Structure 1
Amino acid sequence: MSATVEDIAEEIRSYIPGTEEIVVQYVAGYLLDLDDAAEDEDVLEIAQLILESAIPSTSKDALKSKVQVDQLVKKLGELLEEPLRKRAEKNRAGKSNELVRLDKVMDLSKTTMSSTIALGEGVDLESINKGKASRVDVKKLEKQEAKLRAKIEKRSRRDLYEGSKLLDQYKKQQSYEEMFMKINPLDAAAAAKNKSKDIHLPSIDVNFGSNRILSGASLTLAHGRRYGLIGRNGVGKSTLLRHIAMREVPIPSHITILFVEQEIVGDDTLALDSVLQADVWRDILLREEVSLNAKLTELEKEGDDKRFEDARGEAETRLAEVHARLAEMEAESGPARAAALLAGLGFSEADQSRPTRSFSGGWRMRLALARALFVKPSLLLLDEPSNHIDLNALAWLEDYLQTWSGTLLVVSHDRAFLDAVATDIIHMHSSRLDYYKGNFTQFYSTKSERDRNLRKEYDTQMEYRKHLQAFIDRWRYNANRAAQAQSKIKILEKLPELHPPEAEETETFKFPETEKISPPILQLNEVTFGYTPDKILLRGINIDVGLDSRIAIVGPNGAGKSTLIKLLIDDLKPMVGHVNQNGRLRVGYFAQHHVDNLDPNMNPVQFLQSKFPGKTEQEYRQHLGNFQISGMTGLQMIGTLSGGQKSRVAFAVLSLQRPHVLLLDEPTNHLDIEGLDALMSALSSWNGGVIVISHDERFITTVAKELWVCADGTVNKFKGDVQAYKSLIVSNIKARP
């Protein structure tokens, strides 16, 4: 029986306990993909190097672990004995001197040598082959070279992906304080005085591994402008933000930078203190102030000795410098600013006094956002901030960022958010950055018009070329028209080389039509629910869902939106009232944790097969294609897919249930703009019922016909659209004392 990924992974975990799971999965996948390794590559030796490099050099048991690695590699050699033997035989067969008859004859003396062939010095190929013809099939040689290049690129892409995950793991080991002080020195703010905070880098290259993300691109960020960075999933937007944040592109040193990328690590620090400590230099200076005051108090007791007078003078001078620095950064107003930021993001006064470890991942992400806003860097970098907050917090954030005094660069797929916040759009594609003035709606209009003009110009020029070529073909051998034909040939040769405009990228999703069932389909009648009898979350709820229902549920986090969905799917039982369901009803439920629960060690085809057995591989692949998981993507490990691709797999799973009603809890997270358009279009044309919980204004406006607000223990229909609801939220927040 052949070894599987899990077999190898289990051996690694057994021999080297504590190895990071990402390293375990990478080594297991690498060892099973033997066909993709170079012929002379010692796969076991490379696996040993990777495993040894994963052992912390500071570990007391490092030597013992390396001995265990040696033992593990021997065990893996036994496990993979058969595939390694076959690979060796295949490689030996490939190197045999078998004679092959080639078809096409060419003269090598008149041909440029392939770039993949190297000759030693002193060999005069032309003189050796003079007057001789070599029987080399150039097309076959080129074909082999293309295969070799494709193989190298495929390995590079895989290594790039795994390498990026390993690098991220390494970066996470560095403390926030260390990174902050390294990226933003204390004297940066002082150095910024009278200096421009505009960024203009006329030509930057951004690579990750062997992957070229930007080539000769111009990065221009004017101080005080708010830029939305958009582009397809996988184009490298987040990588660009990381390069800027780490100053791997030459951002002027006096410009302070902060990048909100991941949630904070939970510990016993209170939420309010966590925000205050985010400004590392403020925190350090405040601690130094306390220390200097204590030192001066001690020195006062020591009398008038010359030594103590000098020490007092030094301490007083330094204390004055510290006070000046703290005054510059408005340290005194820190607690009030931090509390206001947390309140805007949904933290109650009680929440602000809770330790960070008591918050869920989504709330910790909000804390990370509050910390960044508190620091007020010259350049703030945000990566999909709307993914982690509800509509109430999003409305507040949009309003807050509209008055942001520094420069903002935000990656987002939320069109309404970009319309509210962005003053400029940067479109990242084809290894370059294109700039557009205005918000997303203005960008879309301008780009669409530009694309139409480019297509029209291209078609016109191609028609002109076609006309010239037709004249040439008809008259070039006619004695009377030969001169005219030659003139046309010269015109054609002088025309610039044309490249067709990039095709507009579109996607389509498809949900299967559902059969009619008689009402009532799904109802909540006077339902009351609480997780404990003394703490009622929802009271007296009435909802009637039909096949024509299009309902969006909004409200603050913790109000009971997800609980309401669980009551509808019968995951929770009401304390009072009852749930009516048609006996034939099939409900499809999508939640973000469903994306996380996809098996990372299976490919999408295998995962669908495990959930819905009985179809052919081609049928599974065809179904995945309905959600843009096509080609080799359907055979990639789910763990290597992007968040947007995982969402597409989850939707493919959902549609195989052939539901009558879809309940979607934050379905837009991770989907790029094209994927979001595809989902909206599919839901709009589908004939079943839809209930969505979402913070995406455009998604709600497009898909839903009714807006229901879940707040204060009730769920009521809202008389107005999403924009009216968001305006109400902001006005209520501003009205707070």
Structure 2
Amino acid sequence: MSSEDIAEEIRTSFPGAEEVIVQYLSGYLVDDAGEEEDVLQVAQQILSSLAGGRVDVVQKLMHRLGDLLEEQLTARMKKRGGPKLMKLDKAMDLSKTAMSNTIALAEGVDLESINKGKASRVDVKKLEKQEAKLRAKIDKRARRDLYEGSKLLDAHRKQQTYEEMFMKINPLEASASAKNKSKDIHLPSIDVNFASNRILSGASLTLAYGRRYGLIGRNGVGKSTLLRHIAMREVPIPAHITILFVEQEIIGDDTTAIDSVLKADVWRDHLLKEETTLNAKLAILEKEGDEKRFEDEREELSSRLADVHARLSDMDAESGPARAAALLAGLGFDDADQKKPTRSFSGGWRMRLALARALFVKPALLLLDEPSNHIDLNALAWLEDYLQTWPGTLLVVSHDRAFLDAVATDIVHQHSGRLDYYKGNFTQFYSTKSERDRNLRKEYDTQMEYRAHLQAFIDRWRYNANRAAQAQSKIKILEKLPDLQPPEQEETEKFKFPETEKISPPLLQLSDVTFYYTLEKILLKSVYFDVGLDSRIAIVGANGAGKSTLIKLLTGELTSIAGQVNRNGRLRVGYFAQHHVDSLDPSMSPVQFLASKFPGKTEQEYRSHLGNFQISGMTGLQLIGTLSGGQKSRVAFAVLSLQHPHILLLDEPTNHLDIEGLDALMVALGAWNGGVIVISHDERFITTVAKELWVCGDGTVRKFMGDVQSYKKLIVSNIKARP
């Protein structure tokens, strides 16, 4: 019986079942179930959740599945029973016989020590092969649980519209009961799991209303998972606290950008529609005249209408269109853009729309996951300024230190299954944590030294009659000392780019270059740009101003319409694209991918090279598709460095890198002897890496006489000066 036959049976009984659940169940029943599991009972529990009360359908299907799987289930039952007991002719001394480690399934088979010197009937190679297959199957099950759990969660979300999800998470009735209730969150002990992974254990979640929290931690520690659990109320957030999580770009359709923002406030939209309906009903009753039989109905409708008006007034519904337009303008949408349908925008702009929608709703608790990854420096400067006056509670995951310094009033450090809280922005957190870590290390070292001193005295005089009493006293002191745990060692990362050989200038020049896709919109006009081995240039400007176009002209991907591009014939350019993930093959491991691009080295050489970018151990052998965003970035840098470039062109290289990875990249670029051109929104990265700041806009690229902070202040003042 194949898994496809089982899948067909499930589809027949439950025509509306999602395919991901059908495939998961059929694969589990036929291939993946272990002997120790009651597979039909597990399947029945899952199917019952789909049945919607149709118990008879489930029972009928279970009988059918039982018949189809009878042979396989019988075989599994026999295996579950294990070997039958047999009476031995004589007693055996098991202490002299080494037992096979096969029982543990976690170690190799030790057959040589069993019946040593006798011929074995067991085919050792077959047994080892079977054991390896079983171990691989167990590992596959563990990975599949995690993967399928993620797919099921995503599928569950996708089947609900934004409005349905919003009303489910934030019921309209809850808003009515929110008055005079505290919006602080204090959960003294929460556990957060994803499949078999423990993210938090007994952690304290404390968020004071009106504070802005930056959630930080290494890649893979579970920050985004924590946000999702809060967003879905899988941790017990009080029902009267409204929550909104900006995680995914909106789905494009014919709705205009500004209408999309207005409809994001589902309560406002719902109440406005109800107001229209109530007014229409009252108008009909007015036409009926003053008949007494309509008085009660009229009074009831009027009362409800007054309640709706009061709630619309509380949420400042009338100012909605103006507020929506201002939010969109701040995030880079001009008047024409605001009237375009959402389907006409790219993924990055749809993420901005999702952010504008969340800011418009003004939930009591706003959750943001790496908001700076999707916006340029201009929009980021506006967002930092806007969030500084955010009235509710903000919990934001970010690796951008400058953003956290500008926005956060508190830092939450997620690590080791717990949450640690620090007052102040990121710089204050770093200073406080560094000082605390130094004190903990000093206290631990002092105690270890004192313990060693006591132990030395005890060891020397314990059995000396004259000093025995003193030794006993020292033993008591030693026993009473608190048992200090060694402070956690902060892992530091290092990236390494190979030194490049010197070549004679000019390396790369743009002279009076003009480029456009259509004459109506000239992106770059009469641009002069010179790049050498000592160049350290950051290019900033609004999205669509021509930054990426400039980079593509430098790489040769685009050809100028007019002007001249001079390139040294020996020049090698390494280009890190903003969407670098697209260039990586998800079906290959990092080692395989490097071997496909740069053949001729041994596996150990590829692994050693990946280690220069913290892709070490088994990570180098995992499929790229299973790696985190930060790990994929590291693989992309490893690929770049094997090109031995003279110049690196980096388009948003900081996206997805955690703080440790970002520090490692900045140090590596600082030590490297080639030229660096970066497009970035990360203020600290630009300040550390670049010596020059060039602004792309109004059809040209020009050098800015000031630092990043001056540029951001100029942007914010210009936005505020708009009518």
Range of TM-score over shorter length: 0.7 to 0.9
Equivalenced residues, count = 666
* Distance in 2 between residues matched to 1:39 and 1:277, nearest whole Å: 52
Deviations 1:233-286 (A, max 9, x none): 111111111121122222222211111111111111110001001110110111
Match among 580, 591, 595 for residue 605 of structure 1: 591
SS of equivalent to 1:187: helix
Shift of 1:95: 11
Q: Do structure 1's residue 330 and structure 2's residue 316 form an aligned pair?
A: yes
Q: What is residue 428 of structure 2 aligned with on the other side?
A: 442
Match among 145, 164, 172 for residue 150 of structure 2: 164
Q: In the TM superposition, what are the counterparts of 1:328-727 in structure 2 within 5 Å?
A: 328-727=314-713
Match among 244, 247, 251 for residue 261 of structure 1: 247
| One-letter code aligned to 2:192 | V
Would the alpha carbon gap of residues 188 and 41 (structure 1) be closer, same or farther in structure 2, given more than 3 Å must change?
closer
SS of equivalent to 2:335: coil
Q: What is residue 175 of structure 1 aligned with on the other side?
A: 161
The answer to whether the 8 Å contact 2:25/2:43 transfers is no
* Distance in 1 between residues matched to 2:27 and 2:673, nearest whole Å: 42
Q: Do structure 1's residue 193 and structure 2's residue 179 form an aligned pair?
A: yes
Shift of 1:151: 10
Shift of 1:306: 3.4
Shift of 1:702: 0.5
* Distance in 1 between residues matched to 2:208 and 2:696, nearest whole Å: 41
* Distance in 1 between residues matched to 2:456 and 2:476, nearest whole Å: 14
Would the alpha carbon gap of residues 25 and 526 (structure 1) be closer, same or farther in structure 2, given more than 3 Å must change?
farther
Q: What is residue 302 of structure 2 aligned with on the other side?
A: 316
SS of equivalent to 1:622: helix
Deviations 1:591-646 (A, max 9, x none): 13221332222111111112112211111111111111111111111111111111
SS of equivalent to 1:350: helix
Q: Mean Cα displacement is larger for which, 290-299 or 702-711?
A: 290-299
Q: What is residue 119 of structure 1 aligned with on the other side?
A: none
Would the alpha carbon gap of residues 103 and 540 (structure 1) be closer, same or farther in structure 2, given more than 3 Å must change?
farther
- Taking every aligned residue pair, what percent have the same amino acid on both sides? 80
Shift of 1:490: 2.2
Deviations 1:74-123 (A, max 9, x none): 9xx9xxxxxxx9x99x9999999999976799xxxxxxxx9x9xxxxxxx
Gap runs ≥5 in structure 1: 1-7, 78-84, 106-113, 117-147
Q: What is residue 202 of structure 1 aligned with on the other side?
A: 188
* Distance in 2 between residues matched to 1:527 and 1:53, nearest whole Å: 67
| One-letter code aligned to 1:506 | T
The answer to whether the 8 Å contact 2:221/2:415 transfers is yes
Would the alpha carbon gap of residues 644 and 152 (structure 1) be closer, same or farther in structure 2, given more than 3 Å must change?
same
The answer to whether the 8 Å contact 2:537/2:690 transfers is yes
Q: Mean Cα displacement is larger for which, 165-174 or 598-607?
A: 165-174
Gap runs ≥5 in structure 2: 99-103, 107-133
Q: CA RMSD in A?
A: 4.0
Would the alpha carbon gap of residues 614 and 494 (structure 1) be closer, same or farther in structure 2, given more than 3 Å must change?
same
| One-letter code aligned to 1:324 | A
Q: Mean Cα displacement is larger for which, 182-191 or 559-568?
A: 182-191
SS of equivalent to 1:332: helix
* Distance in 1 between residues matched to 2:45 and 2:522, nearest whole Å: 53
Question: Normalised by the size of structure 2, how large is the TM-score?
Answer: 0.84
Shift of 1:296: 2.5
Shift of 1:369: 0.6
Match among 187, 198, 213 for residue 199 of structure 2: 213
Would the alpha carbon gap of residues 451 and 152 (structure 1) be closer, same or farther in structure 2, given more than 3 Å must change?
farther
SS of equivalent to 1:325: helix
* Distance in 2 between residues matched to 1:194 and 1:535, nearest whole Å: 54
Shift of 1:685: 0.6
The answer to whether the 8 Å contact 2:522/2:699 transfers is yes
Q: Mean Cα displacement is larger for which, 304-313 or 507-516?
A: 304-313
Would the alpha carbon gap of residues 550 and 359 (structure 1) be closer, same or farther in structure 2, given more than 3 Å must change?
same
Match among 281, 300, 303 for residue 295 of structure 1: 281
Q: What is residue 276 of structure 1 aligned with on the other side?
A: 262
* Distance in 1 between residues matched to 2:556 and 2:19, nearest whole Å: 35
Q: Mean Cα displacement is larger for which, 23-32 or 377-386?
A: 23-32
Shift of 1:27: 10
| One-letter code aligned to 2:429 | F
* Distance in 1 between residues matched to 2:720 and 2:302, nearest whole Å: 42
Q: What is residue 208 of structure 2 aligned with on the other side?
A: 222
Shift of 1:399: 0.1
Would the alpha carbon gap of residues 199 and 41 (structure 1) be closer, same or farther in structure 2, given more than 3 Å must change?
closer
Question: Normalised by the size of structure 1, how large is the TM-score?
Answer: 0.82
The answer to whether the 8 Å contact 1:550/1:689 transfers is yes
